Amino acid sequence: MMKTDLCIINNNYEAYDGKAVTVGGWVRSARDLGSFGFIDLNDGTTFKGLQIICDDNLVGYDTAIKLNAGSSILCQGTIVLTPGNKQPYELKATKIEILNATDETYPIQKKRHTPEFLRDNAVLRSRTNIFNAVFRIRNTCAFAIHEFFQKENFMYVNTPIITSADCEGGSDVFRVTTHKFYDKKYMETATPENDFFGKNVFLTPTGQLEAEAFALAFSKVYTFGPTFRSENSNTTRHASEFWMIEPEMAFCDLKGDMEVMEKMIKYIINSVFSKNMTELEFLDQFVEKGLIDKLRNVVNHDFAHCTYTEAIDILKKHNDKFEYKVEWGCDLQSEHERYLSEQIFKKPVFVTDYPKDIKAFYMRMNEDGKTVAACDLLAPGIGEIIGGSQREERYDVLLQKIKDFGLKEEDYRWYLDLRRFGSVVHSGYGLGFDRILMYVTGMTNIRDVQFCPRTPRNCNF
């Protein structure tokens, strides 16, 4: 058995005029109008569903037309063009086979559900228009990212998920262990040395350090994979498991790094424009008014740039508006990041040259001895979507930073060695995939752009 995907018909419906097809999918709604009725069907292959028209002389009409939302059916019929109607074609059913009929307990009904309700029904929410739109765009963005880097001669590498390098230097990580924490007696003799890997290992919070090693062999590489952070921040933009894209480029400084970031973001958005206009129109109407104009502005204008020091000078003038008052040396909070991108620059902005003490050890020290060649890309409505930097390529400076940060030199031996064996200027960045999706879809909670969101105290299936 092979049904015809609704996207195939939708993309070329005029050619299907009068053709017999078999389609399968899930009922969105069914309406009995007496001598005939409609079934609104969706199979997930296209945002737009298919309207099936059923005559009351169809075998099993009475049962089919009373189907609840969520029921699965196979339907044979003929495509008929309906010019001038809301949908330009429909399927005239000749046979309907009910595969699995839902009852009234099916949670997703044809009405607007709250995001909380949908999160509680995380599996079935994929059948709503909103998730159909979001995940279709997620697919486009993932593909566009690979396409962008492949066209730019980057090599895709898979960095390890289990790692012994706590790369962000103190960022919260999940331990990976086979020790039996539920067995008190066993735990009396448990040590990192007699654990599975003979030392402490973690779920990776970033693939950057390994990507650096690859970049110093292949020049331009990128990772695209899951990353994990156990920070206990219950915000709308933090997840415990999220996907990150981490390009790393040899012979590239911070300026070149930012050029790639901007080009990549524009490439992603343009891909969504060319493949998902229907979805964007839906999201513009129901999720973020003005979404399409916002994205058009992003692709048509240069991103803004300012240094951290300039940003602090600007923000200080508005300190009365912030919960956390700013001064030079402080970490920028989300309220500051958003104020800069939303109120001051009104577009994505690169903030560069942060104080060395609030950024990771591997970032390259600037001439002033106080700041590092780092940059964050801040986007209106979200805040940070990219964090990147030029890497410290000088052996002695890096070694001193490792010591200053209280890290163990032996843990970073291989990383230091890269600075002894053919070190070059190199840079990279991390794009939070779920965050760029929030930006492109207008969704305001990271839990609503992930299939199975993992957040503190929440890992449901």
Partner interacting with residue 435 (select from Mg ion, ligand 4AD, none; CB below 5-8 Å by kind): ligand 4AD
H-assigned helices in 109-225: 115-120, 129-151, 184-187, 208-218
The reply on whether position 40 binds ligand 4AD by CB under 6 A is: no
Binders in 216-235 for ligand 4AD, by CB under 6 A = 229
Contacting ligand 4AD within 331-350 (CB under 6 A): none
Q: Which stretch binds Mg ion (CB under 5 A): 24-32, 268-276, 322-330, 382-390?
A: 382-390
Biggest CA–CA distance in the chain, Å, is 85
Rg of the chain over CA atoms, in angstroms? Answer: 26
Please report, as residue ranges, which positions from 244 to 263 form the binding site for ligand 4AD (by CB under 6 A).
Answer: 244, 246
Q: Which of 28, 125, 138, 238 binds ligand 4AD (CB under 6 A)?
A: 238
For residue 342, give every residue at least 6 positions away whose Cβ sits within 8 Å of its Cβ, in sequence order, or none: 380, 381
- Report helix, strand or coil for 229: coil
Residue with token string 């962000």 = 168
CB of 360 vs Mg ion, minimal distance in Å: 8
- Sequence-separated (6 or more) residues with CB below 8 Å from residue 115: 445, 447, 448
DSSP 453: -
Strands 36-42 and 20-32: antiparallel
Helix/strand/coil for 379: strand
Residue 42 interacts, among Mg ion, ligand 4AD, none and using kind-specific CB cut-offs from 5 to 8 Å, with none
Query: Site residues for ligand 4AD, window 385-424 (CB under 6 A)?
Result: 385-389
Half-sphere exposure of residue 427: CA atoms within 13 angstroms, side-chain side = 21
* Residue whose CB is less far from Mg ion, 54 or 385: 385
- Reported in sequence order, the residue ranges of 3-128 that DSSP labels E, i.e. its strands, are 20-32, 36-42, 50-55, 72-81, 89-100
Stretch that binds ligand 4AD, among 131-139, 240-248, 258-266, 270-278 (CB under 6 A): 240-248
The entry of ligand 4AD, Mg ion, none that residue 359 binds, CB within 5 to 8 Å by partner kind: none
Binding mask 332-371 for Mg ion (x = CB under 5 A): ----------------------------------------
Contact segment (CB under 6 A) with ligand 4AD among 75-83, 153-161, 239-247, 328-336 equals 239-247
Q: Looking at residues 285 to 324 of the shown chain, list those that interact with Mg ion (rule: CB under 5 A).
A: none
Q: How far apart are alpha carbons 381 and 273 in whole angstroms?
A: 20
Query: DSSP 3-state assignment of 86?
Result: coil
Q: Strand 220-228 relative to strand 155-156: parallel, antiparallel, unpaired?
A: parallel
- Judged by beta carbon, residue 41 or residue 436, the one nearer ligand 4AD is 436
Burial class of residue 439 (count of CB atoms within 10 Å of its CB; 0-12, 13-18, 19+) = buried
Question: Minimum Å distance from CB 388 to ligand 4AD?
Answer: 5
Q: Which alpha helices (DSSP H) does 13-128 contain, by range? A: 61-64, 115-120
Nearer to ligand 4AD, 6 or 134 (CB): 134
Please check whether residue 8 is in contact with residue 76, taking contact to mean a CB–CB distance below 8 angstroms. no
Task: State the minimum distance, in angstroms, from the CB of residue 432 to ligand 4AD.
Answer: 2
Q: At its nearest, how many Å lie between ligand 4AD and the CB of residue 80?
A: 47
Partners of 365 in beta bridges: 372
Burial string for 323-344 (b: 16+ CB within 10 Å, else e) reads eeebeeeeebebebbbbbbbee
239 binds, options ligand 4AD, Mg ion, none, Cβ within 5 to 8 A by partner type: ligand 4AD
- Cα 248 from chain centroid? 19
Task: Name the token pair of 128.
Answer: 């709503």
For tokens 């919070």, name the residue. 205
Q: Between residues 37 and 387, which has the closer beta carbon with respect to ligand 4AD?
A: 387
Query: How many residues sit close enough to Mg ion to count as binding (CB under 5 A)?
Result: 1
List 380, 387, 388, 453, residue binding Mg ion (CB under 5 A): 387
Among 70, 428, 442, 453, which residue sits at the site for ligand 4AD (rule: CB under 6 A)? Answer: 428
Residue closer to Mg ion by CB (options 282, 433) is 433
Residues 160-189 that bind ligand 4AD (CB under 6 A): 168
The entry of Mg ion, ligand 4AD, none that residue 385 binds, CB within 5 to 8 Å by partner kind: ligand 4AD
Q: Is 205 near Mg ion (CB under 5 A)?
A: no
Stretch near Mg ion under the rule CB under 5 A, chosen from 34-42, 270-278, 386-394, 451-459: 386-394
Q: Which of 61, 148, 214, 242 binds ligand 4AD (CB under 6 A)?
A: 242
Residue with tokens 């010591």: 403
Query: Closest residue to ligand 4AD, Cβ-based?
Result: 432
* Exposed / middle / buried, residue 186 (Cβ in 10 Å: 0-12, 13-18, 19+): exposed
List interacting residues with Mg ion (CB under 5 A): 387
List interacting residues with ligand 4AD (CB under 6 A): 168, 206, 208, 229, 238-239, 242, 244, 246, 384-389, 428-430, 432, 434-435, 446
